[in-house]
């Protein structure tokens, strides 16, 4: 289907994120399971709960806009999740994997921040005020998740991983 108007693009990108969030409801439990550090596992579990709310929030957006909910495959998220699975498959459970899980998850959060940040701006300009509020809530959760991961890396996870440094 050809996208002719800016609304067509906006809607298509909402359907893309609706798929991306569904992909993440499958990926986040695996990330939690692979975490050795309890606070990292907790961060993934609590972001899973937020992600489930984000799916519901997008359904609210579709309802407000009078759109039938639809998943359009987010190839970018497929790529990020596929790359994460590939890396996870090559690393034993432990501190090195924990530090790696943070790098992989932050790529996902940044993709989501870019997506929701752009969608929120478009919604603003299109005059969809209620939608702006909903997209902002999700954007803030993605940013919060990213910041939480940075804090965990700085607090102890990267130090723990550095115990497994190759000898100079």
Please tell me the distance from the alpha carbon of residue 163 to that of residue 97, in angstroms, as a whole number.
13
In contact, 36 and 93? CB cutoff 8 Å? yes
Residue 54 contact, options Fe ion, Zn ion, none, Cβ 5-8 Å cut-off depending on partner type: Fe ion
Residues 6+ apart with CB under 8 A from 130: 64
In contact, 20 and 112? CB cutoff 8 Å? yes
CB nearer to Fe ion: give 14 or 157: 14
Sites for Zn ion among residues 136-165 (CB under 5 A): 155-156
Question: x/- binding map, residues 36-55, to Zn ion, per CB under 5 A?
Answer: ---x----------------
Q: Which parts of 66-128 fold into alpha helices (H)?
A: 75-88, 95-126
Binding-site ranges for Fe ion (CB under 5 A): 16, 51, 54, 74, 76, 112, 142, 145
CB nearer to Fe ion: give 95 or 138: 138
CB nearer to Fe ion: give 11 or 142: 142
Q: Which stretch binds Zn ion (CB under 5 A): 32-40, 55-63, 89-97, 121-129?
A: 32-40
Helices 6-34, 38-65: inter-axial angle, 10-degree rounding: 160
């Amino acid at each position: 289907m050809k996208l002719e108007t800016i609304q067509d693009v906006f809607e298509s990108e909402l359907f893309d994120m609706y798929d991306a969030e569904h992909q993440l409801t499958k990926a986040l439990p695996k990330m939690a399971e692979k975490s050795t550090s309890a606070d990292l596992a907790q961060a993934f579990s609590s972001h899973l709960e937020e992600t489930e709310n984000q799916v519901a929030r997008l359904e609210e957006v579709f309802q407000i806009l009078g759109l039938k909910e639809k998943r359009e495959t987010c190839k970018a998220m497929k790529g990020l999740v596929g790359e994460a699975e590939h890396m996870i498959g090559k690393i034993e459970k432990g501190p090195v994997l924990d530090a790696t899980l943070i790098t992989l998850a932050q790529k996902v959060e940044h993709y989501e921040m870019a997506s929701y940040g752009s969608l929120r701006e478009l919604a603003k300009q299109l005059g969809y005020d209620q939608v702006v509020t909903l997209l902002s809530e999700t954007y803030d959760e993605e940013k919060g998740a990213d910041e939480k991961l940075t804090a965990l890396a700085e607090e102890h996870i990267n130090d723990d991983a550095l115990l497994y440094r190759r000898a100079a």
